[in-house]
Amino acid sequence: MKIILPIEIAAEIEPHLPSDTKVVLVDSEGNLDYDGTDAEVYLSWFFLKNHILHKVLAAAPALRWHHAPNAGVNHILTPTYLERDLILTNGAGVHAIPIAEFVLTYILSHAKNLAQLQALHAEHQWKRGFPIQELTDATLLIIGAGGIGQAIAARAKAFGIRIIGTRRHPQPLANFDQVVGADEWRSLLPEVDYVVVATPLTPETTGLIDESVLRSLPPHAYLINIARGAVVDEPAIIKALTEGWIAGAALDTVVTEPLPSDSPLWSVPNLFITPHCSGHSPRGKQRSIELFLDNFNRYQTGQPLRNVVDKQAGY
């Protein structure tokens, strides 16, 4: 069997492949080092650009299965890609642990007012009397109760938080007090203290967190986005924070990345911006490799693959 591997990760994967596997390397410009016309499998890597993807597709007409390490695949599902009859699998779950830990970091930082405490430390001031909250009995809404959402819930539950999740097809889930459908969550917004956006980016979720959602939240609410930037309406969040509709927000992802230095987002009050790093972990690469190798074994032996993407739904 012939397999296309990105040159930057091939050396860590090749030793674990069967001896009869022929590896074709692809460089950062989409050039193959060997004929890939009969390759069946393609492993892409992070930061895959459309023109690189399309170049590989054109060079591998026999391709049957493509594995992408990302959880979100909105950047992959181009019209050109969808013309091909490919099985697409993704890295859902690989980054759940570090992202869930980051979400709790955002929540605790806000609840314990760490920004003001750090400012006081820098100013050599011993000052008390400003708000510091606890998390017991707070309500957390996780929009998108998939693998990442469930990892967040498992950790948040230890703090005594009431947790509501959303799913396209609601069902009871461990650590969730309530799981509701695609639109039911809107009626619950007035009782929510924290909102975490963990839903894939699809045509249905683009601009999901808009002015109506932000106006429905209580003034003390805190919004966290660890999904994709375009799920949050950026002009709406700027207005909401500037005018004080909600208490604050943390955005680990924005529409334009890297965020330009002159973006108005940098100056918005009570907004904590991080550079799309919540999924970073020294163990992330190894988890990605292990998932791919397990799926490669499944592919060879005719077993169902893990993390098959519904290309019409977008995740």
Predicted TM-score (pTM) of the model is 0.93
**Residue 227: which of 169, 285, 155, 146 has the closest Cα?**
146
pLDDT digits (tens, 9 = 90+) for 77-104: 999 999 999 999 999 999 999 999 999 9
**Which residues touch 302 (CB under 8 Å, ≥6 apart)?**
none
Provide the token pair at 17.
């492949």
User: Active-site residue among 66, 110, 228, 287?
Assistant: 228
Q: Is the pLDDT of residue 226 over 90?
A: yes
pLDDT of res. 17: 97
pLDDT of res. 270: 97
Mean pLDDT on 68-85: 95
User: Active-site residue among 75, 276, 298, 306?
Assistant: 276
Q: Is the pLDDT of residue 182 over 90?
A: no
User: Active-site residue among 204, 257, 280, 290?
Assistant: 257
Give the rounded percent of residues in the chain with a pLDDT score beyond 90: 99
Q: Is the pLDDT of residue 26 over 90?
A: yes
220 is catalytic: no
95 is catalytic: no
Give the three-state DSSP class for 145. coil
Q: Tell me how far CA of residue 57 lies from CA of 115, 257, 312, in angstroms.
A: 48, 26, 19
pLDDT of res. 82: 97
228 is catalytic: yes
pLDDT digits (tens, 9 = 90+) for 109-154: 999 999 999 999 999 999 999 999 999 999 999 999 999 999 999 9
Split at pLDDT 50, 70, 90, the class of 312 is: very high
